[in-house]
Amino acid sequence: MNLLVTGGAGYIGSHVLQHLRRGGHDVTVYDNLSTGHAWAVGDAELVVGDLADTGRLRETLERGFDGVLHFAAHIIVPESVTDPLKYYGNNTRNTFNLLEACAATGVRYFVFSSTAAVYGIPDTVSVAEDAPLQPINPYGASKMMSERMLMDLGAASDLRYASLRYFNVAGADPEGRLGQATPDATHLIKVACQAATGQRDGITVFGTDYATRDGTCERDYIHVEDLAAAHVRALEHLDGGGNSQVLNCGYGHAYSVLEVLNAVKRASGVDFHVTLGPRREGDPPALMADARRIRQTLAWEPRYADLDLIVRHALAWEQKTALQTA
C-alpha cells in the first residue's frame, strides 16, 4: 500500500516506519521535526510540515494514499495539566485537520496512536476496551476526543480505522538502529537508563504512598517493537476487510516504578541515585491492559514481553547515545 505516516520521525512512528518498509509498503513521512529526527526516517521520503498547515497537509494527501498512520502528538502528561490548550490544539484540533483532509482525498484506512490515558483511573487495575472513558488529564482527554471524531467519521463514511490504546511504551530496536531520542523525554525506563549511563544525575520517584504493592505507580510496559508489529497487523486487518477496532496495546501484567528501577540497576550494574518525591498531578495509581482483544482480533503475539529484555534494549540505546555525545 501507499501510506502516509504522521510523526514518523519520532520514537514510535520511526519504529513502525521500519516495519512497514520491511513489509514492502511505500511510505511517506509527514513530520514537523519538533521532537522527531530526520535521520530516523532513513531513506523514506520526508515531508517537513505541521498538521496545522492545512494547505501543505491537503497538498500532500492529494497525491493519493491508501492509509494513514497518525503518531504526531504531544505526550507529556504533567505538561498537559499546566498547558492544556497546547494539547487540545495539537492532539485534537490537528487530528481534526488530518481527518478532514483524509475524508476529502479518499483515504481508506486510518490507524490512530491513542493511549490508555483515556481510561483515567479505572475501577479495575486490568482495564478492557469497553471500560468507561474518564481521563483525568488533558493529554488523555485530547486523545479521547480524537478517538470520538474518528469513530463518528467511520460511521458516516467508508473510512475504516483502528485506534490503538498504548500502555507504557519502552525499549528500542534490538539492533540499535532506533530508540527513544526525543529531547527531554519523561518515559521512566529511558530516564532510568540515562541515569545509569551518566546522562542524568539520578531519577525522582513521584509518589510512594499509592495503594499498590510497594506504594509506587504500577504500569504495563510494552516493547516498542511489539507495538510496531501491532500497527502493521492492524493495517493488514483493515486491508483484509476487517471491521474498525479499538484495541489495547499492552501485555497484561504491570510493574511498579521501584521494580523498573531495580531492573535497570541489574542490567547496568550501576546503583544510580534515586530521590523519593511527592505525587505528580495527573498520574493514576495503576494501569494494566486487558490484552485479549488484540490477540484474538489481530492474531498478535508479542516477542519481547519481558521487562528485563525491554530494559536491556533501552539501556543499549542509551549507552550508544552516551558514547556519541561524549
- Cβ atoms < 10 Å from Cβ of 27: 23
For helices 94-105 and 138-156, the axis angle rounded to 10 degrees is 20
Q: Dump strand ranges (E) for 116-249.
A: 126-127, 160-166, 168-170, 202-206, 218-219, 221-223, 245-249
From residue 312, alpha-carbon distances to 99, 126, 166, 267, 274 in Å are 38, 26, 21, 6, 19
Q: How far apart are CA 179 and CA 15, in angstroms?
A: 8
At 189, list the grid cell.
525506563
If DSSP codes are grouped into helix, strand and coil, which group holds residue 31?
Answer: strand
Q: How far is CA 82 from the centre of its chain?
A: 21
Residue 294 has which C-alpha cell?
Answer: 488484540
- Phi then psi for residue 162, to 5 deg, are -135, 125
Q: In this structure, are residues 325 and 204 in contact, taking their beta carbons and an 8 Å threshold?
A: no
Cell of 103: 475524508
Which residue among 30, 87, 139, 210 is the active-site one?
139
Q: What is the DSSP string of 74-105?
A: ---HHHHHH-HHHHIIIIIIHHHHHHHHHHHH
End-to-end Cα distance, the chain? 41
Dihedral through CA 61, CA 226, CA 76, CA 211, nearest 10? 150
Q: What are phi and psi of 30, to 5 degrees?
A: -120, 115
* 139 catalytically annotated: yes
| Catalytic positions, written as ranges | 139
